[in-house]
Structures are given as C-alpha cells and as structure tokens.
Amino acid sequence: MSSQKTPVSDRSTGISPDPFEKRLEMTWHDQLVWLLHLGATMEHALMVQYLYAAYSLGGPQVPTKYHRRVKEWQDSILAIAREEMGHLLTVQNVLTLLGAGFSLSRDQFPWSIEWFNIEPFCMGSLACYVNAEMPESETFPERKEIEELVKKHLGKDSPPVHPVAEIYRQIMDLLADSTRIPESALHPETYSLQACWDEWGRGHKPDPRPLDAAGNLEPRVGLQSKAQLDSHVLVFQVATRTEALAALKQVSLQGEGKEDIKDPGVWTHFRRFIKIYREFKEIQSNSWSPAARAPINPSANQHAGADKQHTYISCERSRNWAVLFNVRYWMLFRYLAHTFQIKAAGAPSEPNVRAMIMHRIFGEMYQLKALSGRLFQMPLTEDNANPHGHPKERCTAGPPFELPSNMRIPVGDIDCWCMHRDSLVASREACRDILKSNPTADERAYIDTLRALDAQTEIWIDEILTGLNSTTRYSA
C-alpha cells in the first residue's frame, strides 16, 4: 500500500479485494498495526520453519563425503533462523512504539501462504524459502525454475506468492506518511520496554554498526571467516519515526536485499538460500537424503485443525516428548512477551527481573534445540518403533511447534508470574508422563536435570510473587 495510493474497497462487505488495502472500518493506525502484526507473524513462521528444516538435516543416511556440506547447510539455516528472531523483536519494538500489543501469532494471514508448512529440508521446501526471501525485482537464472518448483511442491497451479519484501514495503510506505500516521501515534516513552541488542545480540558477532543519515549500516572494517555461517542479529530500539523506518529497512535488506558487493561479509537470507539451492541441486540423488524422513506439520494433538495438513505423532513415547516440547515452546514466548511489560533496569548483565527472564528465554532456546534433536530420532508411529522394520519405511517424529490456544498474556504482573508458574506445572506433568514410558538412562538423566532446573525457577517465581503487593496487580 503506497502512501500515494487510494484504497478501493468493496463497500457491500467492507472488505478490500486486495488483502493489503485498508478495510473501511479501520483507521490508518489500525492498518499499520495490522500490517506489523502480519510482519511479525511471517517472521515467527519463517523462523520456526527454518529451525525445523535445519534440525531435520543430518543423520546416518548422509554419505560420509557429504557430512561437512550438509553441516554447513544446517549452520547457515540456523544462522538465518537466529536473524529472524532479531527481525521479530524489531517488529515488536515498532509495535510497542505505536502503543500496540505484542504479537505471538504464526498463522493469521489474509490469504493462504502454503510455504509455511513445517516440513523437513528438501528441494521443494528449499525452493519455497528462496521464493519467500527473494527481492521483489531480483533477476537470477533460477527464478522461473524455482517458481515452477514451488507450484509443484505445493500442488497449486498458481500459489498466492507475497514475498516478505512486499510486506515491509507496505509497512514502510504507510509509516513514512505523517498525514496518516501522525506524531501523536508514536510513544517514545516505551523505549525502555523494548528489546535491545545488548540483551539479544551479544555472542552473535559482529558488533552492531550505527546507521547513517540515510538509514544504511556504516561499512564494516575487515571480513569474517565463513561469514555465510555466522549470525548477524539485528535488534533495533526505536523512539522516532526515522529510527523505526531505518530499523525496518535494515530488517528487510537482511532478509531480501540484493548482494552488497561493498560489504561481502554480510549474507542476506536470499543469498544464503540460493547458494544452498545451487549446491543441493548439483549433488541431489535419489539414493540418499540430507534430512530425516520426518513428517509435515507434526502434531501431538490427534484432532489438530482441519484447515491445514497435520501429521499426528501416534507413537505414545514420542508424543510424550512432543508434548514436553510444546510446553517449553510456550514458556519461551510467554517469557518473551512478558519482557515487553518490564522496563529495562541498568545493564543487561546486572541482576534484575528482566535480566533473569532473559536468562530463562535463552535457557528455553537450548531446551528446544535439545528436544528437537531427540524427536528427530524417535519414531512417528508405533509401527515405526519396530526395530525390525525396513529403514526406508521408518518415519521419525519431529518438534511440533504447536501454539497455545490462548495467545495473550495477562495485563497484571502477578498474573504473568502465576502463568509462568502454571507452565512449570505443565512441564512437570509432561516429564512425569515421559518417566512412565520406560525411558532410557540418557532420557531419564535429561528429565531429572530439567526438573531440577525447573525447581530452582519455581523457587525464584515464588519469591517474586511473595514480594509483589496485590494492589499493584494492574499498575503500569
């Protein structure tokens, strides 16, 4: 939606035929918030898809001579997923500047975006990633080939394709228009509530570079080795329209920007994916797969929504681990959402409540990685659990990444901490079910360690709840 464009809507329904155009009952502020929620949804969906695809890579079926190549693909896709987390956080910061709420959704789109299936790495899914991340006007030799492969992979003659770059262009055009989004719509006082690079980016080198007057990153001095495998996490706090536009520009360029020959140490998501595509195309074979034979959209819920293909994890032992994965996934994003209600106090390394929540977030990231690795080695069905079955017929389970039915966190601080404590109860119950299913010694050791860590976290939460006065339940 360009700032120069007058939207045309169907007045009989109030719904625009173009999913990007503003509905009649919405203000321009509503429209911008909706577009940003859409951007957050896409970043979250892409991050989860990339994590699943990356974790599916590797295994005994990969020939020895390709182990290093497949590991490089995995490292590169994981780097992209970490950068998507930075994009998600920056979009949340812009939403916070606009006085809007944190968005956890992953599937509320104005059209069907089929490439957001959670599926293992393959040539078809890889083509979808290239398609999603490619610049709007990019020309490259494989473009037509990839578009056709996407159609074939999705089973659609003409899939609705809206690259991520298009979403960000719509957002920036509207945000730049001060006649539609006045200064009064911006809330710079929310700056201390926003995610910052000091909390999220440290450890993902290089250090952040400042933006110049045009909103471009200043040139980097020197190059990194194996730059295509490194994460360059961008998390921008914003207090002004100019800062918000510059931040969104950098997020968009990191994902879908063209290669910057002046800064070869930076690898866009498009550039990474097209490199993997070309390498995989060169060596792909019908005799082996770089990824586990894992399901599409695995689910621990037998009655998952019929609007999308789901694969039920019917093996009870595997399903118990999948339930635990979902619980920890929910815990991570509930902790994350809570940080946007707690102002930063001092340096991130100093002991404070927000820093402690950040510590828990990174802990949950580790748990999701560990649980994903286990699930990709577990059987999908009871039949697959038969050790005498033919290896080619065995399907593994996989991390379901299923969202909770309630996507909102409470307004009151006390209620947020009670929610976190309830999550620990849910995890304890999931662990109990795993221990009932005759786990291996290694699995039991993992569960015992996890329960010990949760016990420490529960003591910490109880201490916080004890110190909170119920009269501050709904204070700002």
What's the confidence (pLDDT) of residue 383? Answer: 79
> What is the phi/psi pair of residue 68, to 5°?
-65, -40
Indicate the helix (H) or strand (E) that contains 423.
helix 413-436
Q: One fold for both 28-283 and 298-472? A: yes
Residues 329-354 as b/e (b if ≥16 CB within 10 A, e otherwise) read: bbbbbbbbbbbbbbebeeebeeebbb
CATH architecture designation of domain 28-283: Up-down Bundle (1.20)
pTM: 0.86
Res 351 pLDDT > 80? no
Collapsing DSSP states into helix, strand and coil, what is residue 148?
Answer: helix
What's the confidence (pLDDT) of residue 105? Answer: 80
Tokens in use for 213? Answer: 């007057």
Summarize pLDDT for 48-62 with one digit per residue, the tens. 999 999 999 999 999
Residues 366-393 as b/e (b if ≥16 CB within 10 A, e otherwise) read: ebbeebbebbbebbbbeebbeeeeeeee
**Residue 268: C-alpha distances to residues 76, 250, 326 (Å):** 11, 11, 30
**Non-local CB neighbours of 445 within 8 Å, separated by 6+ positions:** none
DSSP state of 311: E
Q: Which of 4, 83, 1, 89 is nearest to 39 (CA)?
A: 89
Please report the DSSP string for 44-89 in residue order. HHHHHHHHHHHHHB-STTS-GGGHHHHHHHHHHHHHHHHHHHHHHH
CB 98 within 8 A of CB 189: no
Res 99 pLDDT > 60? yes
Give the residue-averaged pLDDT of 180-194: 96
What's the confidence (pLDDT) of residue 449? Answer: 97
10 beta partners: 15
What's the confidence (pLDDT) of residue 343? Answer: 83
Res 63 pLDDT > 60? yes
Res 108 pLDDT > 70? no
Q: Which of 127, 50, 115 is nearest to 85 (CA)?
A: 50
Q: First vs last Cα of the chain: how many Å apart?
A: 35
Res 308 pLDDT > 90? no
Class for the domain spanning 298-472: mainly alpha
Percent of the chain whose predicted confidence (pLDDT) is above 90: 57
More confident residue, 165 or 253: 253
Residue ranges of domains in the chain? 28-283, 298-472
Cα gap 341→343, rounded to integer Å: 7
Confidence of residue 32 (pLDDT cuts 50, 70, 90): very high
Q: Which of 198, 196, 464, 195 is nearest to 336 (CA)?
A: 195
Res 119 pLDDT > 60? yes
DSSP state of 188: G
Q: Mean pLDDT, the chain, as a whole number?
A: 83
- Computed over its alpha carbons, how large is the radius of gyration of the chain? 23
Give the residue-averaged pLDDT of 147-172: 78
Confidence of residue 203 (pLDDT cuts 50, 70, 90): low
Give the residue-averaged pLDDT of 408-421: 91
Res 233 pLDDT > 80? yes
More confident residue, 425 or 204: 425
